[in-house]
């Protein structure tokens, strides 16, 4: 097994239920020796890291996605199962599994342990949060637990670093014996399992586990299986029918058998202090935070605080990055001879890439808050609160989290849809997530609001900004409802959600996730934007005018970008836009935040950003052929609505392509969002004119 | 689903808040029911209904699970004497 990397002596997978402290143990064991990538063929994140055994032998640790069972319900859980069954190409079947168990919730966590033991891979149980269990009045007899499970059990307190030395020792012990099969299935079921196992074209050590998983699948799930041929599926169905005829429900019997075994284990090893049914602090907090009125008050308050920080606290580092970007551009202009190279470096690359890097503080603050909400256990409560609203449009409360993330950036939002079990619901959430107003839309809103209402107070400006956010939110809900009724028709999913107890967040873990996400954002968005910036610069620069005394406006009109602006003018004229706005729309097709800098290039304003007064003055003074202003309040409002509803983000297109594994959905998304944006801007402009507005 | 007249055996959705209940069976007609069972709502498991509203919050093994009322209708339970 350890052949993939010559230096590695063992491949170790770390598995466990969500919220059991699995990632904290992974981070503690591997430190910064981590690699983040993707499993080949699927979009689930693969986190691996190097750690060392008690004698310094290098081992590779794989952090599997959290799962409740090997009977999977989401893409994340499917990866965990496939790795453990050795089905994923490029990922060796682990030599050892560290199964992390939440000691304060032993019975439920032992269910996954029971399934792990059935896989015949050596298991080391990390009994985590023993301090919390003790605090709850539970006494765990370690000797009895080890004896009953038949595998090493190491007590750990991941948040305080307790038990890691013993855990390393247990994992590096050689050779670890395969675990005994613990849960006794009914004899009739066991006979069918063994008969089916013999027919499976898999390694003998996984055949029983694989057969058991097959026999406990629903009809629809069996139909969806692709890794086995029809004869296996038919054999499974026949076995299920024989079991049903003999009075054994193949779906529930293995679950009941495992819980019978768990009952025996806990009877011997777990002595409860009677705190289970007592009203805990978590219950008291839930009384408020899931209350039908106070729950909403708390939820809105927390969201308001998060957005306040995203849009105010982040402003300081954003200003610093902006200043650094300007200084770098000025330095380039001072040291590189005037010409195309200087223009490419200063305007194209530094301006373009800097325009994306500037959003990093907002992304980091978002992940800081998301980390706190996740770690404290509030995220499940937020999904619970939102479920009632989401179910009105046919979605699960879990769809709320990706939509919330999309307010900062659609990329992490779309990645967060992986926890949604139902494929259609996941697709609907992906399709509507970019309608949430992300931080890249902010510069457009700021410029347009300042143009529309130059004398407006901060409250009035905030009111318009809030209206744009609400427009996106309402559009997302309406479109989700339409998709669930038409293209992705399906029943509203039933709510089923674990509500983890409230805990103090792990600041180290949050910092590590912010670091990872920040790097990922810079790498993913930065590379795309860099390429786009160069392309955009070339489009607005070439071909050059034939006569040397051409004005910048004439040069722009002559460029490919200018010609594209002219070409789409008939299409955008009903929205009140001229060809120069057309250049802005074309230029920002791949990244909406580029609109402001493109308009800066169009109006020949150096260092244009959303706070640039010369740009606003130039845009305000811009006149049509008949002498009327181009940027009337209706045009500005229409442009904002256009940007609320339009896709205009190539990074999002790329991530949707990856997450859906298809070109159809991103292309469909571009088409429907662009159509929606055009209709929205048309209704605002033409409707406003009909009502007598300008 | 059970008729409303049934009192000795009822569904989780119809049980009162605060009641201690024993799971009798879960209708096996939806994928969520299998997961519900895996989360600990197996036959004979003891649960306590903590909160009732648009969704239900139950306590079992000291953990809290939120389930929709529609899913709660699939779980047959009986009351456990105090």
In chain A, domain spans: 10-172, 187-271, 531-690
Q: What is the pLDDT of residues A205-215, one digit of tens each?
A: 888 888 999 99
Count of pairs with CB atoms under 8 A, one residue in A, one in B: 117
Residue A678 at interface with chain B, using a CB cutoff of 8 Å: no
Fold category of A187-271 in CATH: Helix Hairpins (1.10.287)
Give the tokens for residue A130: 């023993």
Higher pLDDT, A127 or A379: A127
pLDDT at B5: 43
Is residue A43 over pLDDT 70? no
pLDDT class of A601 with cuts at 50, 70, 90: confident
Q: What is the pLDDT of residues A380-421, one digit of tens each?
A: 888 888 888 888 888 888 888 889 888 878 887 888 887 787
Mean pLDDT for A586-590 is 81
Helix (H, G, I), strand (E, B) or coil at A102: strand
Which one of B33, B50, B64 would you mutate to disrupt binding with A, by most A Cβ within 10 Å of its Cβ? B64
Which chain A residues touch B46 with a CB distance below 8 Å? none
How far is residue A186's CA from residue A399's CA, in Å, rounded to a whole number? Answer: 39
Mean pLDDT for A229-233 is 87
Residue B24 at interface with chain A, using a CB cutoff of 8 Å: no
Alpha carbon of A222: minimum distance to chain B alpha carbons (Å): 12
Q: Are A510 and A368 in contact (CB under 8 A)?
A: yes
Q: Which of A68, A108, A218 sits opposite B31 (nearest CB)?
A: A218
> Which of residues 32 through 91 in chain A touch B, CB cutoff 8 A?
68-69, 71, 73
How far is residue A542's CA from residue A532's CA, in Å, rounded to a whole number? Answer: 15
Asked which of A207-221, A591-605, A656-670, B44-58 is least confident by mean pLDDT, the reply is A591-605
Record: contact B53-A495, CB cut-off 8 A: no
DSSP A629: B
β partners of residue A153: A125
Which chain A residues touch B20 with a CB distance below 8 Å? 277
Alpha carbon of A249: minimum distance to chain B alpha carbons (Å): 9
Alpha carbon of A12: minimum distance to chain B alpha carbons (Å): 25
Q: Are A504 and B44 in contact (CB under 8 A)?
A: no
For A345, left (φ over 0), alpha (ψ -120 to 50), or beta? alpha
pLDDT at A687: 96
Which chain A residues touch B57 with a CB distance below 8 Å? 286, 290, 384, 499
Q: What is the pLDDT of residues A520-557, one digit of tens each?
A: 778 766 677 678 778 878 888 889 888 877 777 778 88
Mean pLDDT for A484-495 is 86
Q: Are A633 and A694 in contact (CB under 8 A)?
A: yes
Record: contact B57-A387, CB cut-off 8 A: no
Residue B32 at interface with chain A, using a CB cutoff of 8 Å: yes
How far is residue A643's CA from residue A641's CA, in Å, rounded to a whole number? Answer: 5
Record: contact A494-B48, CB cut-off 8 A: no
Mean pLDDT for A187-191 is 93
Q: Which CATH superfamily is domain B9-79 in?
A: Ferrous iron transport protein A (FeoA) (2.30.30.90)
The answer to pTM > 0.90 is no
Is residue B6 over pLDDT 50? no
Which chain A residues touch B54 with a CB distance below 8 Å? 292, 387-388
Is residue A34 over pLDDT 70? no
Record: contact B32-A275, CB cut-off 8 A: no
Q: Which of A68, A106, A387 sits opposite B35 (nearest CB)?
A: A68
Q: What is the mean pLDDT of chain A?
A: 86
Is residue A106 over pLDDT 90? yes
**Radius of gyration for the alpha carbons in chain A, expressed in angstroms and rounded:** 29
Residue A107 at interface with chain B, using a CB cutoff of 8 Å: yes
Task: List Cβ neighbours of A242 (8 Å cut-off, separation of 6 or more).
Answer: A192
pLDDT at A74: 79
pLDDT at A55: 83
Record: contact A384-B48, CB cut-off 8 A: no
Q: What is the pLDDT of residues A665-684, one digit of tens each?
A: 999 999 999 999 999 999 99
Residue A216 at interface with chain B, using a CB cutoff of 8 Å: yes
Helix (H, G, I), strand (E, B) or coil at A589: coil
Record: contact A276-B34, CB cut-off 8 A: no
Query: Residue B40: closest CA among chain A residues belongs to which residue?
Result: A108
Is residue A1 over pLDDT 70? no
C-alpha pair distances (Å), A672 with each of A437, A521, A677, A680: 17, 26, 9, 12
Is residue A275 over pLDDT 60? no
Q: What is the pLDDT of residues A438-480, one digit of tens each?
A: 878 888 888 898 888 888 887 788 788 889 989 999 999 999 9
Give the tokens for residue A543: 């071909």
Record: contact A107-B28, CB cut-off 8 A: no
pLDDT at A484: 93
Q: What is the pLDDT of residues A52-62, one digit of tens each?
A: 888 888 999 99
pLDDT at A608: 58
Higher pLDDT, A64 or A612: A64
Which one of B27, B63, B65, B71 would you mutate to disrupt binding with A, by most A Cβ within 10 Å of its Cβ? B63
Is residue B7 over pLDDT 60? no
Residue A501 at interface with chain B, using a CB cutoff of 8 Å: yes
For chain B, give the number of residues. Answer: 82
How far is residue A676's CA from residue A694's CA, in Å, rounded to a whole number? Answer: 22
Alpha carbon of B27: minimum distance to chain A alpha carbons (Å): 10
Record: contact A277-B48, CB cut-off 8 A: yes
pLDDT class of A240 with cuts at 50, 70, 90: very high
Strands B20-26 and B75-79: antiparallel
What percent of chain A has a predicted confidence (pLDDT) above 90?
35
pLDDT class of A613 with cuts at 50, 70, 90: low
Q: What is the pLDDT of residues A128-166, one digit of tens each?
A: 999 989 988 889 999 999 999 999 999 999 888 889 999
Record: contact B55-A495, CB cut-off 8 A: yes
pLDDT at A119: 87
pLDDT at A47: 84
Record: contact A286-B57, CB cut-off 8 A: yes
Record: contact A220-B31, CB cut-off 8 A: yes
Which chain B residues touch A380 with a CB distance below 8 Å? 66
DSSP A228: S
Is residue A561 over pLDDT 70? yes
pLDDT class of A609 with cuts at 50, 70, 90: low
**Please, how many CA atoms are within 13 Å of residue A641, restricted to the half-sphere of its CB?**
21
Higher pLDDT, A4 or A416: A416
Is residue B32 over pLDDT 60? yes
Mean pLDDT for A302-320 is 83
Which chain A residues touch B35 with a CB distance below 8 Å? 68-69, 71, 73, 496
Is residue A313 over pLDDT 70? yes
Alpha carbon of B44: minimum distance to chain A alpha carbons (Å): 9
Q: Which of A104, A108, A256 sits opposite B39 (nearest CB)?
A: A108
Mean pLDDT for A586-603 is 79
Mean pLDDT for A271-278 is 64
Alpha carbon of A221: minimum distance to chain B alpha carbons (Å): 9
Is residue A97 over pLDDT 90? yes
pLDDT at A3: 45
From A533, A532, A641, select the one nearest A577 (Cα to Cα).
A641
Mean pLDDT for A160-176 is 85
Choosing among 3.40.1690.10, 3.40.50.2300, 3.40.630.30, 3.40.50.300, the CATH entry for A10-172 is 3.40.50.300
pLDDT at B79: 92
Record: contact A496-B32, CB cut-off 8 A: yes
Mean pLDDT for A228-234 is 86
pLDDT class of A73 with cuts at 50, 70, 90: confident
């Amino acid at each position: 097994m350890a052949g993939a990397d010559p230096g590695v002596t063992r491949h170790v997978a770390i598995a466990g239920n969500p919220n059991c402290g699995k990632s904290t143990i992974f981070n503690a064991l591997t430190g910064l020796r981590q690699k983040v990538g993707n499993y080949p063929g699927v979009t689930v994140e693969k986190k691996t890291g190097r750690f060392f055994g008690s004698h310094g032998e290098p081992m590779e640790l794989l952090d599997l996605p959290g799962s409740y069972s090997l009977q999977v319900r989401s893409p994340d859980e499917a990866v965990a199962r496939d790795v453990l069954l050795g089905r994923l190409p490029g990922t060796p079947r682990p030599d050892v599994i560290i199964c992390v168990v939440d000691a304060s919730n032993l019975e439920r966590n032992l269910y996954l342990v029971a399934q792990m033991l059935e896989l015949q891979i050596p298991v080391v149980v990390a009994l985590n949060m023993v301090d919390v269990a003790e605090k709850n009045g539970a006494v765990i007899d370690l000797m009895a637990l080890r004896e009953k499970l038949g595998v090493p059990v190491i007590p750990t307190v991941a948040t305080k670093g307790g038990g890691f030395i013993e855990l390393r020792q247990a994992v590096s012990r050689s050779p670890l014996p395969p675990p005994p099969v613990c849960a006794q299935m009914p004899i009739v079921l066991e006979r069918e399992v063994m008969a089916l196992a013999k027919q499976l074209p898999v390694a003998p050590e996984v055949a029983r586990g694989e057969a058991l998983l097959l026999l406990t699948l629903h009809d629809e799930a069996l139909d969806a299986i692709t890794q086995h041929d029809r004869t296996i599926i038919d054999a499974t169905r026949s076995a299920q029918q024989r079991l049903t005829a003999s009075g054994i429900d193949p779906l529930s019997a293995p679950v009941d058998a495992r819980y019978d075994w768990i009952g025996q284990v806990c009877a011997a090893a777990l002595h409860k202090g009677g705190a289970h049914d007592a009203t805990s602090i978590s219950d008291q907090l839930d009384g408020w935070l899931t209350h039908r009125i106070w729950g909403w008050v708390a939820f809105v308050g927390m969201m308001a605080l998060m957005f306040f920080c995203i849009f105010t606290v982040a402003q300081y580092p954003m200003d610093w990055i902006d200043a650094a970007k300007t200084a770098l551009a000025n330095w380039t202009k001072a040291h590189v001879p005037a010409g195309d190279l200087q223009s490419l470096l200063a305007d194209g690359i530094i301006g373009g890439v800097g325009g994306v890097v500037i959003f990093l503080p907002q992304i980091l603050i978002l992940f800081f808050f998301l980390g706190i909400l996740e770690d404290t256990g509030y995220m499940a409560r937020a999904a619970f609160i939102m479920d009632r609203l989401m179910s009105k449009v046919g979605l699960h409360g879990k769809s709320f989290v990706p939509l919330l993330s999309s307010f900062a950036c659609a990329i992490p939002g779309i990645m967060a849809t992986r926890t949604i079990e139902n494929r259609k619901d996941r697709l609907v959430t992906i399709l509507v997530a970019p309608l949430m107003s992300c931080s890249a839309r902010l510069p457009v809103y700021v410029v347009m609001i300042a143009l529309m209402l130059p004398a407006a107070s901060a409250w009035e400006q905030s009111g318009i900004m809030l209206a744009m956010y609400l427009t996106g939110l309402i559009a997302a809900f309406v479109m989700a409802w339409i998709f669930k009724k038409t293209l992705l028709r399906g029943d509203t999913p039933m709510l089923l959600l674990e509500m983890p107890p409230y805990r103090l967040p792990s600041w180290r873990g949050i910092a590590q996730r912010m670091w990872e996400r920040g790097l990922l954002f810079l790498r993913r968005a930065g590379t795309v934007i860099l390429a786009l910036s160069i392309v955009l610069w070339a489009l607005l620069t070439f071909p050059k005018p034939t006569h040397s005394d051409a004005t910048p406006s004439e040069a722009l009109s002559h460029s490919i970008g200018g010609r594209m602006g002219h070409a789409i003018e008939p299409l955008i004229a009903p929205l009140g836009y001229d060809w120069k706005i057309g250049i802005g729309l074309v230029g920002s097709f791949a990244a909406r935040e580029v609109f402001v800098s493109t308009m800066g290039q169009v109006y020949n304003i150096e260092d244009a950003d959303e706070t640039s007064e010369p740009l606003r003055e130039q845009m305000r003074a811009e006149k049509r052929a008949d002498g009327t202003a181009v940027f009337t309040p209706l045009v500005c409002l229409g442009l904002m609505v256009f940007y609320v509803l339009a896709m205009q983000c190539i990074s999002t297109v790329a991530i949707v392509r990856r997450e859906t594994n298809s070109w159809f959905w991103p292309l469909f998304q571009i088409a429907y969002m662009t159509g929606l944006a055009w209709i929205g801007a048309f209704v605002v402009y033409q409707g406003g004119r009909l009502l007598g507005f300008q | 689903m059970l008729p409303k007249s049934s009192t000795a055996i009822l569904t989780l959705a119809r049980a009162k808040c605060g009641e201690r209940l024993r799971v009798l069976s879960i209708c096996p007609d939806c994928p969520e029911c299998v997961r519900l069972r895996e989360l600990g709502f197996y036959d004979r498991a003891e649960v306590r209904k903590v909160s009732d509203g648009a969704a239900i919050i139950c306590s079992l093994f000291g953990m809290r699970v939120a389930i929709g009322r529609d899913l709660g209708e699939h779980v047959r339970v009986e009351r456990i004497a105090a």
